Amino acid sequence: MTMGFEIAIEVMRFVLAGGTYVPPDHLLAPDRVSLQTPTTLSRPNALTSRELAVVRAIQEGKSNKVIAHELNMCLSTVKVHVRNVMRKMNAKNRTDVAMKA
């Protein structure tokens, strides 16, 4: 109910193609992950809050430079987050990250 119509359509296409959709806010559910502790302690492939913010920006089609500016990060930090997200999600590229997220 909180996602836009265009995103909902893409989610349906992804699911119909055999993918599994998990809402981004579910990845950081309060009963499972504390924002104060690193998620890598409890679940090795869980996204941190900053990685999740980067994923949301990637889904919006933003470049690394724009993401860095909007999230007040260095460009190199954004690149590290993107690389970590791709590894954790087993994604081949940014489009794959957006679809899997």
- Please determine, for residue 28, whether its predicted confidence score (pLDDT) is greater than 70: no
Domains of the chain by residue range: 24-100
Mean pLDDT over 21-43 rounds to 57
DSSP output for 2-29: -S-HHHHHHHHHHHHTT-----HHHHT-
User: Does the predicted TM-score (pTM) go above 0.75?
Assistant: no
Q: Model confidence at 42, in pLDDT bands (50, 70, 90)?
A: low
Per CATH, the number for 24-100 is 1.10.10.10
d(CA 62, CA 58): 5
